Amino acid sequence: MQRIPITPRPNWTQKIADQGFLFYDIDSYYNESAAYAFTAAEIDVIEKATSELQRMCLEVVDHVVNKKLYKEFHIQPAFADFIEWSWKNDNPSFYGRFDLAYNGTDIKMLEFNADTPTSLLEASVIQWYWLQEFDPMYDQFNSIHEKLVAHMQACKQWLYNGPLYFACIKDSVEDYMTVKYLEDCAFQADILTGFTYMEDIGVDDPGHFHTAAGQPLTNVFKLYPWEWLFNEEFSSYLPHNMDHTLWIEPPYKAILSNKMLLVYLHELFPDSPYILPAYFNKDGGMRHYVKKPVYSREGANVSIVWNGRTIEEQGGDYGSEGFVYQEYFELPDFKHNKPVLGSWIIGGMPAGMGIRESSGLITGNGSRFCPHYFI
């Protein structure tokens, strides 16, 4: 793996804006001054690791469901049946993103963005069109778009009667861009779609979900975390609408998107070369570790501790639910640029990769996206 300085394409900002990339210029999130280069053998290793991690994560879900470990995952008992129903009925999942550390030799899973991952459009579409102009003789670990459309076509049999609505909150351009891209993929899969904001979802007299216009919500893709939904005013209606509303991503993703997943991966697969030691509310004797809230997002309230001293931390509103302590794994450093690989799962299968780099040790919301290629 190498970081290669490159020259941005002429008029590149207009090109990506035309492709639907709405927030590329916020904090210089996307630029074309560098790309990451891999060998085909390295891509094979990353793809293999992604597939194996997906298998292990699903085994954790099965373990949690069979042992009813919802308390350990800070999930309210009222939603246990809802989660189990979605798992045992194999409710459809569109996507997920593993965040991986890779130093050219070892691959370690940092976390699994299983429920509400973003940076999707830039990984699937934006960097692919960049490659066609940069050098079409190179290749890219990227079949995200094709796999999304094909998988959505396969998922049509699971949908209830009615459109598939795509939903996000009103004040996030990134979330809006992500769900509109997914809605376009569904349209290409010949699925009838609709759009609603999460804030506009209501409940009618019989207790069924509907849009602000009163249209029934029988199928919903929501870019909204399950732990937030479980605390909404209408959350009690979720288990009672299993036969009326199909939610994507499915309720069992409440287990996979939870940092306690890291603890149980280490417990069930302690010898895996991809899994870092992790413990709940204790350091487990580790000298160097990352302290993460169970429900943290985008690096909020994450601290990095080295020999008992905090060397970097970010603020935020998380932490009351407890912390997971994960062994620290050093990211490669390319002149103060530290990359994390976002390896995408579509329909349970590895599908591609997007890379984000940070100047600091913690990858957060403002970390920069860089394209990649392999030879």
Burial of 68 (0-12, 13-18, 19+ CB in 10 A): exposed
Q: Is residue 157 one of the residues assigned to a domain?
A: yes
- Residue 299, pLDDT > 80, answer no
Domain final position from 290, 308, 327: 327
| Beta partners for residue 194, in sequence order | 165
Same domain for 368 and 294? no
Please report which confidence band the pLDDT of residue 319 belongs to, taking 50, 70 and 90 as the band edges.
Answer: low
Segment 52-63 shows an average pLDDT of 98
Q: State the Cα–Cα distance between residues 366 and 220, nearest whole angstrom.
A: 28
Segment 26-53 shows an average pLDDT of 94
Question: What's the pLDDT score for residue 363?
Answer: 78
- Residue 271, pLDDT > 70, answer yes
Please report which confidence band the pLDDT of residue 334 belongs to, taking 50, 70 and 90 as the band edges.
Answer: very high
Q: State the Cα–Cα distance between residues 148 and 345, nearest whole angstrom.
A: 10
Please report which confidence band the pLDDT of residue 321 belongs to, taking 50, 70 and 90 as the band edges.
Answer: confident
- Residue 28, pLDDT > 70, answer yes
8 A C-beta contact, residue 140 and residue 372: yes
Torsion of CA 177, 182, 185, 190, to 10 degrees: -120
- Residue 26, pLDDT > 90, answer no
Please report which confidence band the pLDDT of residue 317 belongs to, taking 50, 70 and 90 as the band edges.
Answer: confident
132-156 per-position pLDDT tens digit: 999 999 999 999 999 999 999 999 9
Same domain for 139 and 201? yes
Listed in sequence order, the residues at least 6 apart from 144 whose beta carbon sits closer than 8 Å to its beta carbon are 120, 123, 124, 344, 346, 351, 352
- Count Cβ atoms below 10 Å from residue 95 Cβ, excluding itself: 25
- Residue 123, pLDDT > 70, answer yes
Please report which confidence band the pLDDT of residue 309 belongs to, taking 50, 70 and 90 as the band edges.
Answer: very high
Q: Is residue 348 one of the residues assigned to a domain?
A: yes
- Residue 95, pLDDT > 70, answer yes
Q: Is residue 317 one of the residues assigned to a domain?
A: yes
Segment 281-295 shows an average pLDDT of 95
Number of domains making up the chain: 2
- Residue 125, pLDDT > 80, answer yes
Q: State the Cα–Cα distance between residues 319 and 303, nearest whole angstrom.
A: 11
Segment 238-260 shows an average pLDDT of 96
DSSP notation for 64-117: HHHHT-TTTTT--GGGHHHHHHHHHTT----EEEEEEEE-SS-EEEEEEE-SS-
Same domain for 146 and 233? yes
Same domain for 356 and 287? no
Segment 281-307 shows an average pLDDT of 91
Alpha-carbon separation of residue 362 from 1, 313, 345 (angstroms): 20, 8, 23
Q: State the Cα–Cα distance between residues 112 and 328, nearest whole angstrom.
A: 16
The residue segments making up the domain with residue 302 are 277-327
Q: Is residue 353 one of the residues assigned to a domain?
A: yes
Same domain for 342 and 321? no
Same domain for 338 and 320? no
- Residue 158, pLDDT > 70, answer yes
165-208 per-position pLDDT tens digit: 999 999 999 999 999 999 999 999 999 999 999 999 999 988 99
Please report which confidence band the pLDDT of residue 262 belongs to, taking 50, 70 and 90 as the band edges.
Answer: very high
Q: Is residue 262 one of the residues assigned to a domain?
A: no
Question: What's the pLDDT score for residue 225?
Answer: 96
Segment 41-56 shows an average pLDDT of 98
Helices assigned H by DSSP within the chain: 12-18, 40-67, 80-88, 120-121, 127-134, 144-155, 173-188, 226-229, 253-256, 260-268
Mean pLDDT of the chain: 95
Same domain for 283 and 142? no
Same domain for 57 and 112? yes
What do you get for the CA distance between the two ends of the chain, in Å?
11
Domain final position from 312, 327, 342: 327
Same domain for 99 and 196? yes
Q: Is residue 268 one of the residues assigned to a domain?
A: no
Q: State the Cα–Cα distance between residues 359 and 342, nearest whole angstrom.
A: 17
Domain final position from 327, 349, 365: 327
Same domain for 27 and 140? yes
Q: Is residue 136 one of the residues assigned to a domain?
A: yes
Question: What's the pLDDT score for residue 318?
Answer: 78
Same domain for 237 and 295? no
Assigned token pair, 294? 């169970």
Question: What's the pLDDT score for residue 131?
Answer: 98
Same domain for 239 and 349? yes
Q: State the Cα–Cα distance between residues 309 and 234, nearest whole angstrom.
A: 43
DSSP notation for 150-163: HHHHHHGGGPPSS-
The pTM is what?
0.96
Which CB contacts under 8 angstroms, 24+ apart, belong to 11-18? Answer: 12/130, 15/129, 16/126, 16/129
Question: What's the pLDDT score for residue 179?
Answer: 97
3-state secondary structure of 283: coil
CA gyration radius, the chain: 20
3-state secondary structure of 222: strand
Q: Is residue 263 one of the residues assigned to a domain?
A: no
Q: State the Cα–Cα distance between residues 231 and 180, nearest whole angstrom.
A: 25
